[in-house]
Amino acid sequence: DQQVKQNSPSLSVQEGRISILNCDYTNSMFDYFLWYKKYPAEGPTFLISISSIKDKNEDGRFTVFLNKSAKHLSLHIVPSQPGDSAVYFCAASSAYSGAGSYQLTFGKGTKLSVIP
C-alpha cells in the first residue's frame, strides 16, 4: 500500500505560469516532508522541505504547503521556467519508526513539463 501518493503522473504548464504539484499521504506518523527534483540520468536533488509544525515554507520561486488534517501537501512553482522541467518526487519521514527513523518514503513522482 502506497503511503505517499502522487496521483498525477505528468503536468504541463506554460512558462511564466504557476505549477502546482500535489502529494497525499496516509501515515499520520509522518512529521517531515520533502520535495526532490530529478533530471534524466541524474540522481534526485533536494528542493525544499517542511516540518509538520508548519503549514508553509517558501524558498524563492518554490513554496510548499502542508494541510495536516487532509494529509495533503503541494509544491507551488511561480513563475515556472523551462529549466524546471523534471520529475518531482514527494517524500516523507517519521521520527517514530524506530530504526528507520531517517527512512524516506517516496511517491511515484510527477513529470513536469514547462512549455516555452
Partner 1 sequence: EAGVVQSPRYKIIEKKQPVAFWCNPISGHNTLYWYLQNLGQGPELLIRYENEEAVDDSQLPKDRFSAERLKGVDSTLKIQPAELGDSAVYLCASSLDAGDRAYNEQFFGPGTRLTVL
* Choice between 65 and 106, CB closer to partner 1: 106
- Binding to partner 1, residues 92-111 (CB under 8 A): 93, 95, 99-104, 106-109
- Residue 7 lies near partner 1 (rule: CB under 8 A): no
Nearest Cα to Cα of residue 12 among 116, 86, 114: 114
In the complex, least distance from residue 36 CB atom to partner 1, rounded to whole angstroms: 8
- Binding to partner 1, residues 32-91 (CB under 8 A): 32, 34, 36, 41-46, 49, 51, 89, 91
- Residue 61 CA, distance from chain mean position: 14
Residue 83 CA to residue 39 CA, distance in Å, equals: 10
Binding site for partner 1 (CB under 8 A): 4, 9, 32, 34, 36, 41-46, 49, 51, 89, 91, 93, 95, 99-104, 106-109
